[in-house]
């Protein structure tokens, strides 16, 4: 599955996962937490985790660097969620609201509410990461569909049983996520079921009708799924706006009441304060003197010291083992996709980076590729394709690579064919290309890397 079909499948997969996650979030937040539900920021955290994971997967980076990026993204997601819940009117990039939130005194219930809001960031971020690693396969999509049905079933069973135990969940939104879940799931299952390398044809005489009905049904089902998915979000946004308006009215009501009392009942503004409420006396704790004998203390010390030494040595050994395992894991490398540099030799990495930097600086001068041979143009084309998300497979011939690139970038088909043909003549036929031929190859390469083709490169990178 490639191109627009893969992009549409990714959107439908996001709708599938976010539907049951959002329904659980609304029910739990409505039952346990006061104030608005951070549904929009949590969904942005989910999408951000997916995009970040897709960007760093298959690069061969250190595990420590990958963990650092995910930790930074998770902290940003948590900050956005807390801002939407506790300080929606304050600027997001200002640290004043965050410092005030961290330094404020709160009760046990408020502490549990803060912890639950932070847990939503972890849940949605983990969901986005797992979705990015999940393959596009029929069995995988069906498995996620079954899990979503189980999640919705448990949610509605809990809502049905909760009133019997005195818990009232006033939630008019969560059930609306069931419709976009089914719509997006069925379309995604159908797309994965029909994918394959086999040739598919319509019956003779029904080609036009089949194409029209396929396009109309896909567009209608996809638009319906997206519309049903966005409807609960709009409802939550409206409720959040109402809550913010109510909070603003509550905050301004003392000043309004003071002005009314000043205008119509000024004598009620003055009054002697009442006597302070006496504090209850503190209970006294009676202490009894008990002096154990000296030989009991000696026996206790003799028994305790070996246990302390053994416990200390055990803790030191466990810490050393954990530090060694952590070092091996953090400084190992992730798997590298075909065509991406994955070398453990720092000198090779440095030389490769310096070579790329020299090529970049030479290209800025306008004559960097003037003395290139055909194989250098072909290597630059391979690097260009790899950075656009289409690396060359080791088992792929230059002709097959050129044909695949022409499918993804049809506007650059003549240029790609020209560069690959020159490489084949120079490498396999051992033909020495003349100056005019190399100038034509250089002109083709300059058209390939032209900025006017950047939108197509971005689309190809997103659809890989």
Domain count, the chain: 2
- pLDDT at position 44: 92
The pLDDT tens digits of the residues spanning 33-91 come to 776 778 888 999 999 999 999 888 877 788 888 899 999 999 999 999 988 888 888 88
Cα end-to-end distance, the chain, whole Å: 9
Domain annotation covers residue 237 = yes
- Last residue of some domain: 205, 238, 255? 255
Domain annotation covers residue 284 = no
Sign of CA dihedral 210, 215, 221, 222: positive
The pLDDT tens digits of the residues spanning 243-276 come to 555 655 555 566 666 666 666 555 555 555 555 6
E strands, 171-258, in order:
none
- Do 243 and 99 belong together in one domain? yes
Q: Which residue range(s) make up the domain with 53?
A: 3-195+214-255
Query: Under DSSP, is residue 59 helix (H, G, I), strand (E, B) or coil?
Result: strand
CA angle 20, 5, 132 (to 5 degrees): 50
Domain annotation covers residue 353 = no
pLDDT band at 343 (very low <50, low <70, confident <90, very high): very low
Angstrom CA distances, 200 to 100, 189, 211, 213, stand at 62, 18, 12, 15
The pLDDT tens digits of the residues spanning 276-304 come to 666 666 555 454 445 556 666 667 666 67
Domain annotation covers residue 421 = yes
- pLDDT at position 131: 92
Instruction: Write down the pTM of the prediction.
Output: 0.52
Q: Give the single-character DSSP code of 281.
A: P
Closest CA to 40 of 74, 88, 5, 6: 88
Domain annotation covers residue 260 = no
Structure token digits, residue 101 = 């939130």
Structure token digits, residue 368 = 């960097």
- Do 382 and 235 belong together in one domain? no
- Do 44 and 173 belong together in one domain? yes
Domain annotation covers residue 273 = no
- pLDDT at position 265: 57
DSSP, residue by residue, 136-163: --HHHHHHHHHHHHHHHHHHHHHHHHGG
Domain annotation covers residue 418 = yes
Domain annotation covers residue 281 = no
- Do 91 and 228 belong together in one domain? yes
Angstrom CA distances, 391 to 340, 381, 407, stand at 8, 10, 14
Please say if the pLDDT value at position 115 is more than 80.
yes
Structure token digits, residue 360 = 């970049």
């Amino acid at each position: 599955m490639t191109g627009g079909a893969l992009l549409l499948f990714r959107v439908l997969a996001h709708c599938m996962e976010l539907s049951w996650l959002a329904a659980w979030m609304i029910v739990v937040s409505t039952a346990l937490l006061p104030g608005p539900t951070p549904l929009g920021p949590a969904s942005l955290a989910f999408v951000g985790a997916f995009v970040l994971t897709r960007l760093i997967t298959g690069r061969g980076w250190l595990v420590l660097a990958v963990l650092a990026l995910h930790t930074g993204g998770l902290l940003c997601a948590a900050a956005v969620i807390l801002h939407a819940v506790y300080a929606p009117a304050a600027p997001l990039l200002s640290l004043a609201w965050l410092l005030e939130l961290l330094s404020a005194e709160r009760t046990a219930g408020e502490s549990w509410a803060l912890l639950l809001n932070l847990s939503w960031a972890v849940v949605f971020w983990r969901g986005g990461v797992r979705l990015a690693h999940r393959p596009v396969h029929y069995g995988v999509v069906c498995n996620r569909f079954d899990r979503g049905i189980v999640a919705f079933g448990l949610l509605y069973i809990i809502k049905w049983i909760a009133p019997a135990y005195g818990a009232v969940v006033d939630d008019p939104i969560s059930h609306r996520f069931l419709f976009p879940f089914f719509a997006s799931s069925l379309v995604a299952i159908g797309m994965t079921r029909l994918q394959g390398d086999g040739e598919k044809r319509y019956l003779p005489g029904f080609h036009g009708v089949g194409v029209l009905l396929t396009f109309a049904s896909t567009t209608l089902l996809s638009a319906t799924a997206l519309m049903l998915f966005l409807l609960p979000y709009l409802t939550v946004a409206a409720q959040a706006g109402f809550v913010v308006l109510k909070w603003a009215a509550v905050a301004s009501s003392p000043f309004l009441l003071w002005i009314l009392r000043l205008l119509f009942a000024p004598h009620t503004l003055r009054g002697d304060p009442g006597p302070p409420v006496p504090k209850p006396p503190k209970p006294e704790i009676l202490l009894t003197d008990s002096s154990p004998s000296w030989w009991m203390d000696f026996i206790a010390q003799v028994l305790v010291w070996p246990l302390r030494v053994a416990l200390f040595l055990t803790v030191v050994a466990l810490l050393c083992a954990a530090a060694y395992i952590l070092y091996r894991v953090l400084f190992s490398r992730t798997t590298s996709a075909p065509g991406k540099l994955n070398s453990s030799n720092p000198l090779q990495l440095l030389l490769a980076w310096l070579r790329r930097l020299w090529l970049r600086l030479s290209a800025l001068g306008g004559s960097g590729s003037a003395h290139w041979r055909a194989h250098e143009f072909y290597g630059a084309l391979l690097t260009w394709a790899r950075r656009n998300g289409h690396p060359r497979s080791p088992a792929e011939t230059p002709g097959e690579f050129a044909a695949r690139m022409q499918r993804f970038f049809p506007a650059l088909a003549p240029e790609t064919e020209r560069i690959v043909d020159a490489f084949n003549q120079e490498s396999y036929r051992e033909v020495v290309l003349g100056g005019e031929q190399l100038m034509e190859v250089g002109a083709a390469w300059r058209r390939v890397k032209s900025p006017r083709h950047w939108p197509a490169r971005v689309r190809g990178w997103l659809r890989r």
